């Protein structure tokens, strides 16, 4: 495999649609409320993509250094684990994408800053830098929060609340929680993807001291927790439909796919067979966000 393909594999492109879901939805709700800006949308996309790739590379390196990526790992092999990319090369890539993330964040805030006062700009700057730090420290460092059972909370905050509400507020002058239910839906579904990952890897995670929430509460409770996340996401999507437009009940049909997923997840007895379910939930989340965004753009 040539170097380009190896790095593309390390970027884990299949995770990108999920990270874009919040940007699409937040932008669409802002457009629905009469606020649009192509430059803000562009830099929102680039910033989010850089954050996600940075997180993927840092996770690849962090899990390798901590021994979580070993021959007993259930999920797809990672690039540092296989030796296709050395730890030194991965560290350089993490630094490069950290810089790109910061630059893109500054550009995004700069081009959006004419819409709001300096105080709001400083808040966005702090949040943007927090996103960079969170992307790196999920598995890297002595206090990596992914090893302390805090990954679910951080994914909910950054993929859901920060992504949707943050992007919406880049377009509008005054801070608003108007896209809250959309943010809750994206955040809950994103957390469900992480929980699936942790259900799949729970045996090896426990052995290497990666104390994810599933490791802490056990496999059965982890599956019950998955049901909770999915049900609450559906409730939030319904509330958003009542709030914005009844036409948004149409993309709620995506939750039929989620229901079939939940059934397969509950009956699963072989952790490795949960891996395809990650793609199901991630792409269904993107599908719901994309169709919702199209409706909000054109009604």
- Give the tens place of pLDDT for each residue, 164-189: 999 999 999 999 999 999 999 999 99
- Mean pLDDT for 240-269 is 97
Distance CA 147, CA 66 (A): 10
Question: What's the chain's average pLDDT?
Answer: 93
* Cβ contact 254:288 at 8 Å: yes
CATH fold of the domain at 16-298: Farnesyl Diphosphate Synthase (1.10.600)
Residue 78 has pLDDT above 70, yes or no: no
Domain boundaries in the chain?
A: 16-298
Q: What is the pLDDT of residue 115?
A: 86
For the chain, the distance separating the N- and C-terminal CA atoms, rounded to the nearest angstrom, is 47
Token digits for 234?
A: 């559906």
Joined together, the tokens standing for residue 207 give 């052995």
- What's the pLDDT at 208? 85
Q: Tokens representing 217?
A: 């509460």
Q: What pLDDT, on the 0 to 100 scale, is given for residue 68? A: 63
Mean pLDDT for 143-156 is 93
Q: What is the DSSP string of the chain?
A: --HHHHHHHHHTGGGHHHHHHHHHHHHHHHHHTT---HHHHHHHHHHHHHHHHHHHHHHHHHHHHHT-SSTT--SPPPHHHHTSS-HHHHHHHHHHHHHHHHHHHHHHHHHHGGGS-HHHHHHHHHHHHHHHHHHHHTTSSTT-GGGTT-HHHHHIIIIIIIIIIHHHHHHSSS---TTHHHHHHHHHHHHHHHHHHHHHHHHHHHHHT---HHHHH-HHHHHHHHHHHHHHHHHHHHHHHHHH-GGGGTGGGGHHHHHHHHHHHHH---GGGGHHHHHHHHHHHHHHHHHHHHHHHH-
- In the numeric block, the tokens 């579904």 are attached to 189
Least confident of 73-77, 146-150, 259-263: 73-77
Q: Enter the tokens of residue 129.
A: 């830098």
Residues 267 and 215: beta-carbon distance below 8 Å? no
Q: What integer pLDDT is reported at residue 72 of this predicted model?
A: 58
> pLDDT per residue over 111-133, tens digit each?
999 888 888 899 999 999 999 99
């Amino acid at each position: 495999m040539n170097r380009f393909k190896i790095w593309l594999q390390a970027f884990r492109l299949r995770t990108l649609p999920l990270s874009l879901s919040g940007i699409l939805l937040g932008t669409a709700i802002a457009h629905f409320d009469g606020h649009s800006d192509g430059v803000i949308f562009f830099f929102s996309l680039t910033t989010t993509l850089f954050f996600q790739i940075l997180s993927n590379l840092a996770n690849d390196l962090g899990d390798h250094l901590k021994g979580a990526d070993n021959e007993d790992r259930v999920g797809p092999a990672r690039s540092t684990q296989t030796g296709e990319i050395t730890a030194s090369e991965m560290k350089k890539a993490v630094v490069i994408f950290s810089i790109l993330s910061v630059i893109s964040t500054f550009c995004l805030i700069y081009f959006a800053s004419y819409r709001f006062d300096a105080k709001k700009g400083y808040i966005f700057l702090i949040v943007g830098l927090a996103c960079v730090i969170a992307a790196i420290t999920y598995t890297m460092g002595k206090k990596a929060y992914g090893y302390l059972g805090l990954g679910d909370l951080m994914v909910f905050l950054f993929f859901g609340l920060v992504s949707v509400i943050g992007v919406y507020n880049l377009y509008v002058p005054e801070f608003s929680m108007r896209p809250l239910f959309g943010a809750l839906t994206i955040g809950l579904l994103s957390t469900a993807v992480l929980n699936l990952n942790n259900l799949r890897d729970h045996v090896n995670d426990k052995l290497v001291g990666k104390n994810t929430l599933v490791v802490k509460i056990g496999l059965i409770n982890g599956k019950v927790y998955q049901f909770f996340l999915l049900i609450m996401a559906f409730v939030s999507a319904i509330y958003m439909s009542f709030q914005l437009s009844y036409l948004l009940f149409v993309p709620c049909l995506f939750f039929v796919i989620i229901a079939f997923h939940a059934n397969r997840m509950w009956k699963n007895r072989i952790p490795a067979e949960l891996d395809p379910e990650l793609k199901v939930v991630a792409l269904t989340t993107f599908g719901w966000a994309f169709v919702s965004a199209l409706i909000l753009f054109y009604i």
